[in-house]
């Protein structure tokens, strides 16, 4: 996986949320969480697995809504942040944080109602292997996002400490087919890339978000969107 050593560093975990979800990044956080909620639907009583759960921002959110959730990540430091977040929210009894490899999931077939991964596939060096494992342990739904190869993401991709894997629609179609998944729904968002929003104050980010939405609603959304959400069925 790209940037594996960087991602697992203690200092990265400590500063991860503050760097990515402050300023205009708060807008990104809200949108990503809503995308997950829209796709997963009511989760109360459901068994859910989050791949690459990081500091637990989705894991805790879903536990607060009644999910029985496992959060898996390769970074012990990230998982530590997630456990603290879960305790503070009072949902640590509904979450199991595990350190593990997403390419070899330690669960039997059809074990979860839903399996999802956010901010993961841009780092995946063998995406088919990861998605196939996600499909194997899910009895119904697999949800994930990708960064797109014909978007403004390309302009600053080289600046990132680990780079990003960018996907075309054809890439995703092949990835789903090779993983024996069927696409059920999709959404496309953010003409302006995440890195841009994180650099500007929240109130200014809201203004650019209005322009962003206007471009997306013009019919150019799928072509210009920097991120896509893919909701698939086993």
**Average pLDDT for runs of 10 along the chain of length 234:** 49 58 82 96 97 95 98 94 96 96 96 97 93 98 93 63 80 97 96 86 91 87 88 98
Q: pTM for the full model? A: 0.89
pLDDT digits (tens, 9 = 90+) for 171-197: 999 999 999 999 999 999 999 888 888
In CATH terms, the fold of domain 4-233 is: Rossmann fold (3.40.50)
* Dihedral in degrees, nearest 10, Cα atoms 22, 27, 33, 34: 160
Instruction: Give the pairing of strands 166-167 and 95-99.
Output: unpaired
pLDDT digits (tens, 9 = 90+) for 6-37: 445 455 445 556 666 667 788 889 999 999 99
Domain boundaries, the chain: 4-233
Q: Do residues 44 and 19 touch, judged by C-beta distance below 8 A?
A: no
Q: What is the DSSP letter of 107?
A: S
Rounded to whole angstroms, how far apart are CA atoms 48 and 67?
7
């Amino acid at each position: 996986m790209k940037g594996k050593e960087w991602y697992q560093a203690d200092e990265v975990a400590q500063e991860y949320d503050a760097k990515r979800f402050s300023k205009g990044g708060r807008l990104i956080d809200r949108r990503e969480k809503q995308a997950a909620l829209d796709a997963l639907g009511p989760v109360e009583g459901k068994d859910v697995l989050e791949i690459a759960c990081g500091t637990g921002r989705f894991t805790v959110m879903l536990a607060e809504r009644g999910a029985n959730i496992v959060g898996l990540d390769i970074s012990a430091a990230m998982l530590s942040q997630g456990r603290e977040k879960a305790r503070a929210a009072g949902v640590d009894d509904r979450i199991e944080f595990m350190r593990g490899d997403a390419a070899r999931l330690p669960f039997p077939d059809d074990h979860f109602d839903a399996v999802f991964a956010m901010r993961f596939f841009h780092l995946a060096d063998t995406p088919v292997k990861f998605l196939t494992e996600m499909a194997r342990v899910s009895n119904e739904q697999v949800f994930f996002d990708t960064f797109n190869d014909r978007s403004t993401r390309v302009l600053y991709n080289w600046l990132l400490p680990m780079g990003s894997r960018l996907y075309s629609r054809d890439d995703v179609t092949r990835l789903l087919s090779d993983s024996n998944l069927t696409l059920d729904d999709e959404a496309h968002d953010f003409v302006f890339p995440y890195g841009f929003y994180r650099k500007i104050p929240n109130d200014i980010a809201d203004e650019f978000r209005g322009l962003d939405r206007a471009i997306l609603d013009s019919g150019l959304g799928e072509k210009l969107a920097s991120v896509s959400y893919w909701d698939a069925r086993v």
